[in-house]
């Protein structure tokens, strides 16, 4: 790969070269130009001028966008309505070279037991592992990894680092894009740092890291606009959530069991655990998106699930951000419409809005510095910006219960820390009660009143994700 004197209104590259045998980490925050660089090297962005561009032929790209494209294709092929059972979709094994299904790398990724699962049955972390395996077991020498650590637990991140440290360097050219400094992998040989829409630093990993420590981060903070602060929730029951001896089973697979959970107003709760222990399943059960909510002894806002309330009666008092919601938000709509849909808990905007609601939505978009893109189609934004818009959607209605499943996936250092700072402000003023799932150690804030380690309730024979 060779770029020389490339110019675009959103990106300027004087020179960049990546060769077989070099493993590059590309680091930058969301507005640094790193997203446009990805579009450039994959051929999706055309520069206004360039002295020389040599791009790899058909590189393997692993990203949230690619996962979303496959997920949507699987939805289109879903034949559940014509079957007497749920259509699992394309087996994971069919995404891999059929002559390599016994390769030891599959077991190293802890994916052998998932090869017969349908793609839509995989967790976000599993789907990423599957695409990584497809790239490494294929014939393409250039591999592009966009935010590969997002959504992976500590063990999986260490596993991924170990695997790539063993990859023969004379066979591949790998480019890893990360937006959080702590995610810069030590197995890379080179590092390029993006800032102010250009490559500010580049060179060997050790030498560039030393220079990076001296490079000030002067980007503005997000989510600090006092205009969008909540009003305290009122008329709340004594207990927002009570779950007695909770469980999630899928057929003979027991994900977790024996979980007792009580969340009162102000009981901000952190939920952690390795991939596959049931964190997302638990949250889907609490939000009514998993039918196991009716099989459990579960009360939400003091109401027993299954006693006649609708899912909308429950969700109107919740703000929800999750990978599942992100995957399913596939309808056309502008940023403004997506934020406004939070008032109605709908995917898409189908109701009339008041001038006051529209004003509040503008303020939320301003708080994430996207007000100038209010009419831009949601799906045209980079993944991280989409996630910020969904966070604004969740917060706009002042929900008494804020459920956040890996909300910082795709966010850079600045946006991630700013979101956590804002949540701390919410927690300190008892404005919403937060239920938060995270893999990242640096997201464990002191405002959490209780910590549920879900692996303590996981079935030892359950499948890992």
pLDDT value for 229:
52
Alpha helices in 345-411 (DSSP H): 355-367, 383-395
451: Cα within 13 Å, side-chain hemisphere: 13
Of 89 and 6, the structure prediction assigns the larger pLDDT to 6
Alpha helices in 291-429 (DSSP H): 292-295, 311-315, 323-328, 335-340, 355-367, 383-395, 413-428
Backbone angles phi, psi at 79, to 5 degrees: -105, 25
In this structure, of 95-104, 125-134, 223-232, the range with the lowest mean pLDDT score is: 223-232
Task: State the Cα–Cα distance between residues 58 and 70, nearest whole angstrom.
Answer: 17
- Taking the mean position of all CA atoms in its chain, how far away is CA 314? 24
Task: State the Cα–Cα distance between residues 86 and 396, nearest whole angstrom.
Answer: 35
- Percent over 70 (pLDDT), the chain: 93
Residue 461 pLDDT grade (very low, low, confident, very high; cuts 50, 70, 90): very low
What is the edge-to-edge ordering of all strands in the sheet holding 297-300? Answer: 253-263, 241-250, 297-300, 303-304
* Residues paired with residue 8 on neighbouring β-strands, in sequence order: 11
* Cβ pair 87, 80 in contact under 8 A: yes
Tell me the average pLDDT across 417-439: 84
- Write the burial class of residue 425 (CB in 10 Å: 0-12 exposed, 13-18 middle, 19+ buried): middle
Domains and CATH numbers, the chain: 2-212 (3.40.50.300), 226-457 (3.40.50.300)
pLDDT value for 417:
84
Tell me the average pLDDT across 56-82: 83
Predicted TM-score of the model (pTM):
0.77
Tell me the average pLDDT across 76-104: 83
Tell me the average pLDDT across 36-46: 93
pLDDT value for 217:
54
pLDDT at 232 over 70: no
pLDDT at 426 over 60: yes
* Cβ pair 384, 412 in contact under 8 A: yes
pLDDT at 267 over 90: yes
pLDDT in tens, 124-183: 778 888 998 999 898 889 999 998 888 777 888 888 898 888 888 888 999 999 998 889
In this structure, of 105-109, 289-293, 294-298, the range with the lowest mean pLDDT score is: 289-293
Tell me the average pLDDT across 258-278: 90
pLDDT in tens, 303-334: 888 777 777 778 888 999 988 888 888 888 99
Task: State the Cα–Cα distance between residues 437 and 327, nearest whole angstrom.
Answer: 17
pLDDT at 281 over 90: no
**Minimal CA–CA distance to 101: which of 112, 91, 110, 109?**
112
Strands 2-8 and 11-17: antiparallel
pLDDT value for 79:
73
pLDDT value for 235:
75
- Can you state the angle between helices 64-76 and 124-137, rounded to 10 degrees? 100
Mean of the per-residue pLDDT values of the chain: 86
**Minimal CA–CA distance to 417: which of 443, 447, 383?**
443
């Amino acid at each position: 790969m060779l770029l020389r004197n490339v110019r675009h209104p959103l990106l300027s590259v004087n020179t960049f070269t990546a060769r077989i045998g070099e493993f590059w980490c590309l680091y930058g925050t969301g507005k640094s130009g790193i997203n446009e660089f990805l579009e450039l090297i994959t051929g999706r962005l055309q520069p206004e001028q360039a002295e020389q561009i040599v791009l790899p032929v058909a590189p393997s790209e692993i990203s949230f966008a690619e996962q979303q494209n496959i997920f949507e294709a699987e939805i289109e092929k879903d034949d559940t309505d014509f079957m007497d059972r749920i259509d699992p979709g394309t087996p994971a094994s069919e995404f891999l070279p059929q002559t390599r299904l016994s390769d030891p790398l599959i077991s190293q990724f802890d994916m052998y037991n998932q090869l017969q699962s349908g793609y839509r049955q995989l967790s976000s972390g599993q789907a990423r592992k599957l695409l990584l395996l497809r790239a490494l077991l294929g014939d393409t020498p250039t591999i592009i990894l966009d935010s590969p650590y997002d959504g992976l637990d500590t063990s999986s991140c260490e596993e991924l680092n170990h695997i790539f440290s063993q990859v023969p360097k004379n066979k591949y050219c790998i480019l890893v894009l990360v937006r959080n400094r702590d995610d810069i992998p030590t197995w890379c040989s080179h590092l390029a740092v993006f800032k102010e829409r250009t490559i500010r630093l580049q060179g060997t990993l050790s030498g560039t890291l030393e220079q990076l420590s001296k490079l000030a981060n002067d980007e503005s903070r997000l989510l600090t606009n006092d205009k969008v602060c909540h009003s305290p929730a009122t008329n709340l029951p004594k207990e927002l959530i009570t779950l007695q001896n909770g469980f999630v089973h899928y057929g003979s697979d027991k994900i977790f069991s024996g979980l007792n959970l009580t969340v009162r107003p102000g009981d901000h709760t952190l939920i952690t655990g390795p991939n596959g222990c049931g964190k997302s399943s638990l949250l889907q059960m609490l939000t009514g998106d998993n039918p196991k909510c009716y099989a459990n002894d579960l009360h939400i806002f003091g109401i027993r699930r299954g006693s006649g309330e609708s899912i909308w009666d429950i969700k109107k008092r919740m703000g929800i951000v999750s990978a599942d919601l992100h995957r399913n938000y596939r309808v056309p709509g502008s940023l403004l419409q997506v934020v406004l849909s939070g008032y109605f808990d709908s995917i898409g905007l189908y109701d009339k809005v008041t001038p006051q609601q529209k004003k509040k939505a503008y303020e939320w978009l301003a708080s994430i510095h996207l007000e100038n893109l209010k009419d831009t189609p949601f799906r045209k934004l980079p993944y991280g910006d989409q996630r910020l818009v969904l966070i604004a959607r969740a917060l706009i209605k002042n929900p008494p219960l804020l459920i956040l499943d890996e909300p910082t996936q795709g966010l850079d250092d600045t946006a991630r820390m700013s979101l956590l700072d804002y949540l701390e402000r919410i927690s300190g003023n008892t404005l919403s009660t937060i239920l938060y799932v995270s893999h990242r150690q640096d997201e464990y804030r002191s405002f959490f009143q209780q910590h549920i380690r879900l692996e303590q309730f996981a079935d030892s024979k359950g499948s890992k994700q």
